[in-house]
Structure 1
């Protein structure tokens, strides 16, 4: 199963008002394991970025001036995500912008993301698992003990890496431990990234309970049942 965890940054909040994608970040997972393959690009939107958006992601009009147009990166982007399940937080937002960009491409037969991918919305998933609670990315990181302390501003690649950890925790646990680190971005500015341990690292040591520990555990469960509780371990 190939999944692509994806995030975008944009010039504003509504493609119907002419707003465009300015950054795409993707992380590849196969069978719930991070492969180390990523796709990351900044895009010249051919229009100004709204100040409110700059305050969110910090990407300025000056920085985007020499970046490629979406039409120039579309082929490689489509090839990277083709046939995968996209994992996106608040998917209607990103998919709306992607569909808008695809429709703008003259002569392109792909007009909607649904023609090349399926989509899983982790916000919808989180609301089902944690109804009535905050389920934005920061809240989920806190809930699952994922360190995002270096996330001062939104960034498509960093957010997709963090979302990969959140998604794996929400659906059964992580397959890779990660440690925060820094790398230099395209602008030469230090950008906060996630540094992952090698996929081919040695298996972790498995420590099994002793007979005495198992006996104490069973005694404790007996006490829970005796007091009228429910033992989930015995269900």
Structure 2
């Protein structure tokens, strides 16, 4: 079986402008290399359409906050460098992946691990699988840098990275990459794959 730390991961979170489909107003990436969580890298992004009042209430990013921020095209190369990993991790990953794929048309999305799906599989008894509820249940917010708060990309990406490592290493021993992928392992059941 393959150690999950054999892959390098880019953990992402995207905050949107509230439109359908959403446009990016903030992006953060946190690397996991050799099982160690790196520092968040984040960007505010000026969207093509204004941020809706509802979205502003959720993440607290105002239209004024992004009025002088770069357009996505201006940070695209930096984002691609940050996403250069063997696998992508996100909570409720299809949302983040869809936004990234719309912005990075030629980008080849690597293998995706969705911490929402992993938590439902590995800790099915939880009342809620929301990122905030899991962060509280597993005490994942200790030592979060000052100024970071829920529903901002840097905070959510860092907490998702901590959740992924927690799920990959809990409860008794590190899980194999095959277990994270939902593949049958020797002595295991035939659980269906839960990757995005």
- TM-score bracket relative to the smaller structure: 0.7 to 0.9
Contact 1:45 1:69 in 2 (8 A): yes
Contact 2:12 2:29 in 1 (8 A): yes
- Structure 2 gap ranges (5+): 1-6, 171-196
1:118 pairs with 2:124: no
Instruction: Count how many residue pairs are aligned between Structure 1 and Structure 2.
Output: 161
Question: Deviation at 1:153?
Answer: 4.2
Spell out structure 1 runs of 4+ moving beyond 3 A.
147-153
User: Corresponding residue for 1:143?
Assistant: 137
Question: Deviation at 1:83?
Answer: 3.5
Structure 1 segment 140-179 matched on structure 2, within 5 A: 140-147=134-141, 153-172=150-169
Structure 1 segment 212-227 matched on structure 2, within 5 A: none
Which protein, 1 or 2, shows the higher relative CO under an 8 Å CA cutoff with sep ≥ 6? 2
TM norm structure 2:
0.74
- Higher relative strand content: 1
Aligned Cα RMSD in Å?
A: 2.2
Larger Rg: 1
Q: Distance in 2 between matches of 1:78 and 1:35?
A: 17
Question: Deviation at 1:5?
Answer: 1.2
- Structure 1 gap ranges (5+): 104-109, 174-235
Question: Deviation at 1:41?
Answer: 0.6
Contact 2:10 2:30 in 1 (8 A): yes
Q: Distance in 2 between matches of 1:59 and 1:14?
A: 18
TM norm structure 1:
0.63
